[in-house]
Chains A and B, each alone.
Chain A
């Protein structure tokens, strides 16, 4: 009796989620996959034909694609890396009890609450090469003499946009990890205290192992999210100057905007495949842990 039930239950439980997602995205995604094998350019709708792998071959010979891919890697590694680091530190602080914790917890979410429309514009204004507040502060401190046009130079543009995405993503990690920390039993720490463990030992022996799965999942999801994010870079630099801040997702967005849907579908599928490849080690170790 019970065994049979076990077989039906999981499917019933995932059915609503699966149903909603499939109902909405199945057709559009299938459509996008088809487009990647076509010369699907809506500027020339009469010339749309199946062209096999021609888009894929073109992508592989496109230097802008490779450049954008490299920048996507930097964007994700530094962006997510520092988001996690600061988010983790913040989560641990916010987990301690101190006066005004509730307020600190809610205001530290502000970057995440800030409308995307505003983020790019505000940061562009902060970085402005003429009267951006950042230049003004640096000048006041005496670090620089002439204002730096952060977003107009190839050497500074990528670090600048990465700082913005770090800023935007810290609250996500802080909140998610904070929630995970609530599941760590206080007794573990108490026992460690009795054993005379120091802070670092507690961190690596208790905290991190206890929220291992949460860390896994949040970083994986964040990698996907950041790799796909367009609006911060788009509104700050549009990918410029001279492609110096163009990531793959921005390139896809720009191509899709000029209605070359075939080409951008191709790049999208490649980006998806790539992210899957990145996810594989994650998935493997996760599934292995669970089976064990």
Chain B
């Protein structure tokens, strides 16, 4: 990347389109935030206010003090965290096998994984509930971890397989010619290069488990409730408690963004000079 653009071109080629996309992505978030600090009287006002005339943080106070929102957050974090670790590990192994070995049944297995997520989950709820119950893990975090692992493995395997296929085989073949075993080659050569992809896939698994509602509402009880269920409890027959719901949304979003801020530092090129040839 040589510096040959003038500032003006930079602006039109980079900052302007980036700004437009970001505006589109972030406006609803801004709107959520503004809603969370609006007093009730302004929510249903006939004039739309873009910044509240009176800023109130009552809803945040209420969420933490009366609502004990920390608990579902802790549950969500536990479930999403463990799911990410298990699913990522298991998927990485399978993806490596699919990408680097040619063995009978490979295509069938890959297609099976793919089909798994084509089928709508609504229809699986009653039997899944029975399975969780007969295993005795209903209402424990394990029920959700198991379900989320099951439903994130297939996509993760495919994603990682895609990334691995983009990495030239010559990478580890060179190392194996030099006498390293396949597993050594994997750990020393492939794994470091794969880290950005693992971060991305991990983020996919984490988000999916963090935001899932359908399983969560059935497989948890008061003690194991996760965030989406806690938020949905704020929508009753008497309408939406906008202040609490939006505040809850903001509180859900921010820690994940902070976590990702640190994780994204790993999202840098792992391939070093001269590692690739054809």
Contact = CB atoms under 8 A, between A and B. Distances in A.
Contacts of B17: 89, 93
Contacts of A93: 14, 17-18, 21
**What 4 pairs between A and B have smallest CB-CB spacing?**
A217-B162, A179-B200, A13-B97, A28-B124
Contacts, number: 303
B90 A17 contact: yes
Given A115-B249, A185-B276, A253-B122, A214 B231 contact: no
A213 B107 CA distance: 16
A41 interface: no
B257 A13 contact: no
A153 interface: no
A187 B2 CA distance: 13
A255 B113 CA distance: 26
Nearest to A108: B25
Nearest to A96: B14
A141 interface: no
B26 A265 contact: no
Interface in A121-148: 121-123, 125-126, 131, 133, 136
Contact of B26 (A107, A261, A290): A107
A116 B124 contact: no
A90 B28 contact: no
B204 A25 contact: no
Interface in A193-229: 193, 210-214, 216-218, 220-221, 224-225, 227-228
Given A107-B26, A217-B159, A6 B268 contact: no
Interface of B: 1-2, 14, 17-18, 21-22, 24-26, 28-29, 31-32, 35, 44-46, 48, 50, 90-91, 93-94, 96-98, 101-103, 106-107, 109, 111, 113-120, 122-124, 127-128, 131, 146-147, 149-150, 153-155, 157-159, 161-163, 165-167, 182, 193, 196-197, 199-201, 203-204, 207, 210-211, 213, 227-228, 231-232, 235, 240, 245-246, 248-249, 252-253, 256-258, 260-261, 264-265, 267-271, 273-276
B102 to A, nearest CB: 8
Contact of B204 (A96, A176, A185, A186): A176
B103 A126 contact: no
A103 B264 CA distance: 9
Given A20-B146, A102-B265, A212-B166, A170 B101 contact: no
Contacts of B50: 133
A1 to B, nearest CB: 12
Contact of B163 (A175, A180, A249, A283): A180
B91 A182 contact: no
Contacts of B165: 213, 286, 289-290
B93 A228 contact: no
Contacts of B240: 121
Contacts of A269: 119
Q: B14, B50, B114 — which one has the most chain A CB atoms within 10 A of its CB?
A: B114
Contacts of B267: 105, 178-179, 182
A27 B134 CA distance: 13
A6 B17 CA distance: 49
Contacts of A31: 127
Contact of A104 (B1, B22, B97, B232): B22
A93 B21 CA distance: 11
B199 A96 contact: no
A289 B31 CA distance: 46
Interface in A249-272: 249, 252-253, 256-257, 261, 264-265, 268-269, 271-272
Contacts of A125: 31, 35
Given A10-B97, A114-B252, 18 more contacts: A29-B119, A32-B119, A93-B21, A102-B264, A117-B213, A118-B32, A121-B240, A125-B31, A133-B48, A167-B24, A183-B196, A185-B273, A189-B1, A256-B122, A265-B123, A272-B118, A275-B118, A286-B165
